[in-house]
Amino acid sequence: MPPPGPRLPPLLLLLLLTADCSSGLAGAGEGGSCEFSVERGGELYSFALAAPTPAHRHGVLSEDGFYKVAVNDSILWFQLCDEMLFNFDPPMCLNCEDCGGPSRCGTQCSALVSNYIRGYDVCTTIGSLSKSHISLVDESNPQKGIIVKMFSSKCSISVSVLCESTAAQVPDKFVISGLCDYATTLKHPSGCARSVSASGSGWGWLSTSFMTILCLLGGYIFIGAVYRYYFLGIHSVEAIPNLEFWIGLPQRVKTIFVPATRSHN
């Protein structure tokens, strides 16, 4: 049997597990590229465009891998919260080097437009996931939806995601302002905000705190048991750290609350 490899000290393992747990909680809350929160009138309005809804398991993301809008001789492709993916009907146009190249055109950006110029379809990258900004459609009414604006080196695209709680309506047109700034509108349940009290007593704050405590406690027990099992050679239930404390915990809680209950009788 080969000798066991080097093991990390238990304290370092616990710190790593805590950091991983904290990052997971952060990812589940605010801070993603398609997550947005704003406070208005004592309420905290939150949007999570990539979160699943009852009818859309990928949230606002197109399950085809892209949205496509054609107006006259121009075609606009875009995807929200991710880069585009083409399993069928890929763009066939020139100048696609900064968005996947000729063989994979459209797969390395989030928005692309094709214009018919002098007998050729010429592509222009107009948006990237790494260069995006989210704002409210109406600053005074967060329930109307949000605007996702993505940029490229010279162009941009603004996608208004309007709140539509019943069904999604894909865009069927776009407009151009300036030389290369595009805008279109999408109606979707993901454009509807979730609101909670901004006082800090909402379930979001409570659930995050509860999950953090559970994660730290679980990490402590797990790392302690691993350490005692492998380093101290304890191969029974005694490997659980502070076993006597956990066994006696229900009785300790009972002795605290029972006298208090009797004093009120």
pLDDT, tens digit, 9 for 90 and up, residues 214-246: 888 888 888 988 888 888 888 888 888 887 888
Query: How many whole angstroms separate alpha carbon 12 and alpha carbon 161?
Result: 44
Pair 107, 125: CB distance under 8 Å = no
| Residue written as token pair 């809680």 | 253
Q: pLDDT band at residue 3, thresholds of 50, 70 and 90?
A: very low
Domain ranges of the chain: 35-197, 203-254
Residue 38 pairs in a beta bridge with 45
Whether residue 150 is predicted with pLDDT greater than 80 in this model: the reply is: yes
Least confident of 26-40, 137-151, 174-188: 26-40
Q: Do residues 80 and 214 make contact, with C-beta atoms less than 8 angstroms apart? A: no
Tell the residue number behind the tokens 């009818």, with chain if given.
55
pLDDT value for 25? 43
Rounded to 10 degrees, what is the CA torsion of 200, 203, 206, 210? -160
Give residue-wise pLDDT tens across range 173-205: 999 998 899 999 999 999 999 887 655 544 555
Within 8 A by CB and 6+ apart from 164, the residues are 187, 188, 189, 191, 192
Asked if the model's pLDDT at residue 22 lies above 70, the reply is no
Average pLDDT over residues 41-46: 88
Question: Is the whole model's pTM more than 0.75, yes or no?
Answer: no
Long-range Cβ contact pairs of 145-149 (< 8 A, separation 24 or more): 145/191, 145/192, 146/36, 146/47, 146/49, 146/191, 148/34, 148/49, 148/80
Output DSSP code: residue 235: -
E strand residue ranges, 53-155: 67-71, 74-78, 111-117, 120-136, 145-151
∠ CA 28-158-152, rounded to 5°: 90
Using pLDDT thresholds of 50, 70 and 90, give the confidence band for residue 132.
very high
Mean pLDDT of the chain: 82
More confident residue, 53 or 126: 126
| 181-188/156-163 β-pairing | parallel
Q: Which residues contact 124 (CB under 8 A, 6 or more apart)?
A: 95, 112, 113, 114, 115, 152, 155, 180
CATH 2.70.98.10 fits 35-197, yes or no: no
Residue 24: pLDDT band with limits 50, 70, 90: very low
